[in-house]
Amino acid sequence: MQDHRSDPSALRFLVGHDLRSAREQAGIKQADAAKIIGCTPTKLSYMESGRTGQQPEEVAALLRSYGVAVEHVERTVQLAGRADHGTWWAPFKDVLPDWFRTFVGLEGLAAAQFAYGILVLPGQLQTPEYCAALLDNSLQIPQMDTAQVIKARMARQRLTDAKAPLQFRAVIEETMLDRIVGGASVMRAQLKHLLKMAERDNVELHVMPTQVTVHDGLPGEFTLLDFSEARSISYVEYHTGALYLQEQDQVHLYSLAADRLCSTALSTSDTVEAIADRIARLA
């Protein structure tokens, strides 16, 4: 994780997740765990939910008492020690919904991301013009905030980040290529951008053909975030909020679905051909 994408709330979220998972795996009740560091169960609950700061020495004491491996204790303690840094997305806080800020922070800390999209391209792949077209006449984004929302979305993009490029995999439905968002000119530029991103070593892009009628993405869109110093998280967004799935059996299921989607969809080379074909049609 890189400090130039640091976010205190996201770091507290990850530390809290590790504290709760380790305690539950050890079979220790919250009230008994609170006694280890001499605090109330309420405080420990806040620590595990990321609602309050976690002191590195308390994190270390708890994890050691849970029997966690030394190297994992050290990684989590380091995360806790970095949770007093600034928030990189602070300039955009006025246009980021409260429920979405956690994801933005986590995305900035992630080493790798998988995204399955049904209707619109994942934010990491969007051009400013495509993004603007999506926000036009939005029910959720006031027109006066549109320009700042676009800047925020572009600032989140890390595929070409010089310090820590995001390892990115995505499966997108073929119908996205045929939905002419913003008109032919905007969509042509967006498709060309996809081809450019697909050339990068850190990007793996697959198109799911419409003739594949049944696959693991049918339940809906989802995102997986993998971290170098914390457990992976599944993210499912809905119209006015999101779910963060942190139980490892749930995350494993989504991870398996991601791999199966990639194997079911077009290969990376066939995906490039499919995109190039749409560009030719729009010429």
The pLDDT score that the predictor gives to residue 105 is: 93
Are residues 258 and 114 in contact, defined by beta-carbon separation less than 8 angstroms? yes
Residue ranges, the chain, pLDDT below 50: none
Q: Say if 86 falls within a structural domain.
A: no
Q: In this structure, what DSSP letter does residue 200 have?
A: S
Are residues 45 and 30 in contact, defined by beta-carbon separation less than 8 angstroms? yes
The pLDDT score that the predictor gives to residue 157 is: 97
**Same domain as 32, residue 101:** no
The pLDDT score that the predictor gives to residue 193 is: 98
Domain boundary pick from 81, 116, 132: 81
Domain boundary pick from 81, 111, 135: 81
- Residue 270 is part of a domain; what is its CATH number? 3.30.870
Residue range(s) defining the domain that contains residue 16 = 3-81
- Residue 64 is part of a domain; what is its CATH number? 1.10.260.40
What distance in Å separates the CA atoms of residue 143 and residue 149, rounded to the nearest whole number? 10
**Same domain as 29, residue 158:** no
**Same domain as 41, residue 12:** yes
**Same domain as 45, residue 142:** no
Give the global pTM: 0.85
**Same domain as 217, residue 168:** yes
Find, among 193, 235, 272, the residue nearest to 103 by Cα. Answer: 235
Helix then strand then coil, in percent of the chain rounded to 5, is 55, 10, 35
The residue type of 155 is A
Element (H, E) at 238: strand 233-238
Domains of the chain: total = 2
**Size of the chain in residues:** 283
No. of helices (H) and no. of strands (E), the chain: 12, 6
The pLDDT score that the predictor gives to residue 78 is: 87
What distance in Å separates the CA atoms of residue 3 and residue 82, rounded to the nearest whole number? 8
The pLDDT score that the predictor gives to residue 171 is: 98
The pLDDT score that the predictor gives to residue 85 is: 67
For 232-248, the pLDDT digits (tens) are: 999 999 877 899 998 88
What distance in Å separates the CA atoms of residue 261 and residue 116, rounded to the nearest whole number? 8
